[in-house]
Structure 1
C-alpha cells in the first residue's frame, strides 16, 4: 500500500509541475518594469502579470523584445492596430481622424510646457533621452512609408512620451513578436490591481 501511495504522490507532484510549467510559459508570466517610460501607469521596479495569449487591442499595454537591445524587453501601450491612421497634433492623439482622450495621461500631461509651439518637458531628462517628436503622422516617422498601420503590425507609445523610446524611434512592432498583454500589478501591494486601458 505504501508503494502505491508513494507512486501516486510522485505522479501528482509531476502533474502539478507540468501544470505550473504550462501556466508560466503559455498563459501568464510575471515581469518587472524597468524604467519610467510608462509613468504614471506603471512605475519603475513594479511587478506585473502578463497574459501570453490573444491579439493586442488598441490602448492595451504589451511587452515585446526590444528590437534595438538584444536580451531586453520593452513595455508600451498599443496606440494603433492594423488599418489605423495615427497622428498627433498639438499634443492630441488622433486615430482614424478622430480625437482620442487619453485618460491614462492626465497626470503626466501636467508636467508638459505647452506655452511654446513645440511641446517640451519641464522635468530634467537624462542624457540617454531622445528628442521628443511632436505633431506627427505615421509617414513622418523614419522607416515607415505608409499612412496606416499595416496588417500584422502595431504602433506603440510609452505613456511618459517625452522619455519613451517607442514606435517613433524603433518603428512598428510585429504582432507575432508581442510577448504578453499586461493586465495587473501585483507588487508593491499598495498598487495591487487591474490596469485599465
Structure 2
C-alpha cells in the first residue's frame, strides 16, 4: 500500500505538471493571437487574406531586410502602417513595363549588377489589371528606371490592382519598417511560417 501511495502521488504530480504546461501553452497562444497583426483588406491577397493574424519576427533589425520579405511599414513618418512585399533594395534600379495587352513585368537590376532580372511572381498574373508604367525618380508611377536611394526600399502588394504601395507613396524609408512578417497564427488551417522565397524569385534576362 505504501508503494501504491507513492505511485499515486507521482502520477498526480506528473499530471499536474502536464496540466500546468498545457495551461501556459494555451495562454501563450491566446496572447500571441491577441497581439498578432490583423490583416485588413485585400492588397496582399492571396498570400495574406483579410482577417489573417500574423506575428512579426522577434528581434528584427531593419538592416536585415531581404528582397521579397513581407513587412509592416509606414510609407512615411507619422502615417499608418501598411503590409507590403520588399521588391527593390537600396542601390537597385527598378521599373515596371506594361505591354499593349496590359500584362505587366516588374524588373530589377540589383545593386552592382549589369543586367536586369524579371520578378517571377505567379500570384501577380491573376491579380494585376490596368497596370501603369513605373517608376519616376521618386519611386511613384511614371516613366524611368530610378535607383532606390540609400536607406529606402521599393514595395508592392501581392494584389497589385488593389494595393497602395510605392507606386503611390514612393520609396519607403527603412527606418519606418516596423517588422518582418514571420508566422501566420490564424486561421488555423493556414497556420505556419511565411517563406518569401517560396512565392517569388528573380530570373536574369
State TM-score, norm by structure 1: 0.66
Cα pair 1:68 1:170 within 8 Å, conserved: no
Mapped partners of 2:85, 2:136: distance in 1: 16
Mapped partners of 2:50, 2:37: distance in 1: 12
Unmatched runs of 5 consecutive residues or more in structure 1: 1-19, 113-118, 121-131
Q: Which residue of 2 aligns with 1:193?
A: 192
Q: Which residue of 2 aligns with 1:157?
A: 156
Q: Secondary structure at the match of 1:76?
A: strand
Distance 1:94 1:180, change over 3 A: same
Mapped partners of 2:42, 2:174: distance in 1: 24
Mapped partners of 1:189, 1:182: distance in 2: 17
Q: How does 1:90-169 map to 2 (within 5 A)?
A: 90=98, 91-96=104-109, 97-103=115-121, 106-110=122-126, 112=128, 119-120=129-130, 132=131, 134-139=132-137, 141=140, 147-169=146-168
Report which of the two structures shows the higher radius of gyration computed on alpha carbons.
Answer: 2
1:33 aligns with 2:32: no
Q: Which residue of 2 aligns with 1:56?
A: 65
Give 1:111 shift: 5.0
Mapped partners of 1:86, 1:108: distance in 2: 17
1:182 aligns with 2:184: no
State TM-score, norm by structure 2: 0.64
Q: Which residue of 2 aligns with 1:125?
A: none
Unmatched runs of 5 consecutive residues or more in structure 2: 1-27, 99-103, 110-114, 197-205
